[in-house]
Amino acid sequence: MSRKVFFDTDPGCDDAVMLAMALGHDAIDVVGLSTVCGNTTIENTTRNAHAILDIGGYDVPVSQGCGRPLVDDLTTAEWIHGENGLRGDIPDADGDTRDIHGADAIIEAAYEYGDELTIAAVGPLPNLALALAKEPRLPDLVEDIYLMGGAAMTTGNVTPMAEANFHNDPAAASRVLQDANTRMVGLDVTNRATVSSEFIEEFRTAGGVRATVAEWLDYRPDSGTYPLADAPAIHDAAVVADLVDDSVLTFEEYYLEVDTTGGPCHGAVICDEHDTTDNDPNSRVAVDIDVARYRDVLETGLQAYATQ
């Protein structure tokens, strides 16, 4: 039986890969999408979500969410993800965006599907933070809540200590960690969530949809050079890989906080790795990844997406 998943996302090239592999996998039933600002503006992330669905021929409800962080100024990353936030041959697919805010769409899905639903929030977190403020029972209503963000026991990727999604909206990330016992899939594992250059080249030379997906896979402007591995890390895809095969990621429980003070560690995760406080764990943190299994799930999903 397929797993019902609602994605809160800011497409974005790695978001596009994640959505494509989720749509392609029979094990995942994508019941809805909410968009959020992050990799690019909210107008672009919403348009990109529709384009990803259109390219693969899928019909999934899309709701537009927050167009700025709860507190901080918006910082986007088109220089990484491309003009309008998504590389490749992208159709002009505005789609039919629902007349409901992304935060309310999350709550609505929780009411409709209950404990059959998993929420996967893979961008900045203002939509999920607002949903939790409006419906504090949300974590108890659903099966699970996954986050792609943070760096618990490693360094950051936009500042020396902070990961991009959490740094984009530290106040929202702090609220989510306080209010929901999440599965945090951060840079501790996603830096190793790479895809082989051979697979990228196979898709690039195949043309058509596969060539577009190859652009999403090899999205860094310094294509061919990667700071922490010999291949591009598709961070968000690690979440879907674990939803399909729960042996991909290994989780351990820790107490986490997010620095919201505005200093050099703004947006960084503080992880009580050595249990030096009296605080009970409030998150399950991904600490290891089976890269071979991850790649198998990713490649299977993308092949299916590209052949729809």
What residues act catalytically? 235
From its phi and psi, is residue 68 left (phi > 0), alpha (psi between -120 and 50) or beta?
A: beta
Which residues are CB-neighbours of 182 under 8 A, at least 6 positions away? 145, 146, 147, 176, 283, 284
From its phi and psi, is residue 14 left (phi > 0), alpha (psi between -120 and 50) or beta?
A: alpha
The kind and range of the H/E element at 44 are helix 42-56
Per-residue DSSP letter, 95: -
Q: Which residue has the tokens 């530290």?
A: 170
Q: Rounded to 5 degrees, what angle do the CA atoms 149, 3, 86 make?
A: 45
